[in-house]
Amino acid sequence: MSSSFEDQIKKAKEKEAYLSFEFYHILKNTVSSGLMYEGSRTEFKEVIPELQIGEERADLVVFASKYGRSLEPFLVIETKVRAYDRPGPSMANGVKKALHYATRLNATLAPFFAVHNGWELMVFRNTPPYLVGAYGSIKDENQARNLLVGLGEFSYTNKKELLARLSKHPDQDFLIRRVMPSVAKALAKESSELEALLKSWRESL
């Protein structure tokens, strides 16, 4: 009987709902203790799961206020199960969804958007070259702090000193060959932009 439950638990942990809940828990704990990027007085205050956007739902949305103003969406996260057969198209689909939700929120400043699959995290902004960074999975509050405050720093200064503290992507060769081409194709507005994006992304790793 126990081995049967162990199998059930293993399968449950591989599902998107579990990945989303686990990431929510880490992010929520991180912002609950008080978190701010001092440079732009960006205070991270809320993490909302399953945020209703029209008839759709975004998996996770982090809200922040700048200079004491009203809350705005800061980061939209789509959680996906890691795909072994078609990792590129799967990640590209997640990126398109996250961008779609980020755009539909109609924030004063377009939020960052990301895809997390429990193995890797890819973070983007809505202007070329889009990719902010590709990292390993976020496993604890210290990493979540570096992610959020690091994005605040990047937004304000264009520097990635805090983001550089995040764990490296676990397999950069796999990322470059199997994932990036599909993601770039999903974001490129014209075919001529595709190679420029891929070149920029490879150089940023």
CATH of the domain at 150: 3.90.1570
Taking alpha carbons only, the member of 102, 65, 105, 106 closest to residue 187 is 102
Element containing residue 173 per DSSP (H, E): helix 172-174
Is-contact 169 135, C-beta < 8 A? yes
DSSP characters over 28-75 = HHHHHT-EEEGGGTEEEEEEEEEEEETTEEEEEEEEEEETT---EEEE
Sequence length of the chain is 205
Taking alpha carbons only, the member of 139, 152, 146 closest to residue 166 is 146
For the packed helices 191-204 and 180-187, what is the interaxial angle rounded to 10 degrees? 130
Q: What is the pLDDT of residue 4?
A: 81
pTM for the full predicted model: 0.94
Give the burial class of 4: count Cβ atoms within 10 A of its Cβ; 0-12 exposed, 13-18 middle, 19 or more buried.
exposed
Residue by residue, pLDDT tens for the chain (205 residues) are: 456 888 887 777 778 899 999 999 999 999 998 999 999 999 999 999 999 999 999 999 999 999 989 999 999 999 999 999 999 999 999 999 999 999 999 999 999 999 999 999 999 999 999 999 999 999 999 999 999 999 999 999 999 999 999 999 999 999 999 999 999 999 998 888 999 999 999 999 8
Non-local (6+) Cβ contacts of 8 within 8 A are: none
Helix (H, G, I), strand (E, B) or coil at 160: coil
Non-local (6+) Cβ contacts of 164 within 8 A are: none
Residue range of the domain that includes 46? 2-204
Q: What is the pLDDT of residue 33?
A: 86
- Domain count of the fold of the chain: 1
Taking alpha carbons only, the member of 122, 119, 130, 29 closest to residue 82 is 119
